[in-house]
Amino acid sequence: MNIAVIGTGYVGLVSGTCFSEMGNKVTCVDIDATKINNLNKGIIPIYEPGLEPMVLKNVENENLFFTTNLAQAIKNAEVVFIAVGTPMGDDGSADLQYVLAVAKSIGETMQKRLVVVDKSTVPIGTADKVKAAIQQELDKRRVAIEFEVVSNPEFLKEGAAIVDFMKPDRVVIGSESAFAIEKMKQLYAPFSMSHERFIVMDVRSAEMTKYAANTMLATKISFMNEIANICEKVGADANQVRIGIGSDSRIGYSFIYPGCGYGGSCFPKDVKALMKIASEYNYNPKLITSVEEVNDAQKLVIAHKIVKRFGEDLTGKTFGIWGLAFKPGTDDMREAPAIYVIKELVKRGAKIQAYDPKAMEEAKDFYLKDLKNITYVSSKYEALKNADALILLTEWKEFRSPDFDEIKIQLKFPLIFDGRNQYNIFNLEEKGFEYYQIGRTER
């Protein structure tokens, strides 16, 4: 099948590449000429495990193409995916200007029947707006060309996006058009051999499904962090509580790990957007509002533990940071807890020595670029040299089983603040460490 994917950000590039992997002819479009030129040279703009070799292979096999020419890309396409960004506005709503601009361009240039698919995460009712924008341009041209608008939300986890796309838990299709549904069935057949995983519903329900899914996962995270904070007050161990409740099949273990809060491009944005959508319909989403409030506070829990241990003034103190990305397996630092912890410590006079396997360029160039008193180093142990404590903020695999003897040698004092509860407190205490984690009474 000939496919066009408009937008070569995270969702667009992963989706287009995976479709090409199954033998489809895919043309990815972007208005950023530099990005397109780099992609044509084999330079991938994001880090995602497995993405680069898959892109290079399918470009070589002539299944995957990159261009800035939207009209040329959709000329022979049967399905066009809109996968441009929907950044969060000042009021928390999703900004649809790029989605609607693409819809307008499709209407200006399409020459034959198309299935237009909203792949971007968009508010409920966006498909109607996309349909109207396309039809308006067709009316201006005085041409009658059939088209369908479908909602097909993505459920990709950063760091595991290729696996998620190639072996999806479900494929959600929002459409009432038999023609469009059949096209999508054909397209997704290689990815979803089980009919139970191909779920068809109305467009608005599909649009809502993405927001509901991400907000549910965010709710589990904030709930467990709330429990962890209560555990600290009453003398319970949140890690043991997690095991106790996770063994219940109705709850499960996923997304109930105590930590320093969620970040990234999806959960924070989608929670805020759903709150905004609810308010537009005069509904007060009390639970969802609390999810965000708990998460905002949780990002500073580790910083508060450090201040409690060292005092309000951290002048003269140096901290080694392990992890900058919001989660392992990605270089994405959007809303990462590390940003908030580091800024809070530097504000109080501390110096930072930071290490992350993938996200240091993002930190230098964007998220922490104006911050003084921060040094980026090339290894995890170098970050600890003459530091007053280790602070773990991202649970990368290389941090799971470190050499604790080496950590002792590098640190001024054997002190660890663990924002992801990676280590066994009893083992560390036996090794002579002072160890702080989330959800356990400090001793």
Residues that are catalytic: 266
Quick one: how many helices (H) and strands (E) in the chain?
A: 17, 14
What type of residue is 143?
V
Measured CA to CA, the distance from residue 351 to residue 348 in angstroms comes to 9
CA angle (63, 203, 195) in 5-degree steps = 60
SS3 65: strand
Give, in order, the Cα–Cα distances in Å from 92 to each of 16, 87, 278: 29, 9, 11
Report which secondary-structure segment, H or E, holds 416: strand 415-418
* Contact present, 401 and 329 (Cβ < 8 Å): no
DSSP string, 273-340: HHHHHHHHTT---HHHHHHHHHHHHHTTHHHHHHHHHH-S--TT-EEEEE--SSSTT----TT-HHHH
Measured CA to CA, the distance from residue 222 to residue 286 in angstroms comes to 14
What type of residue is 415?
L
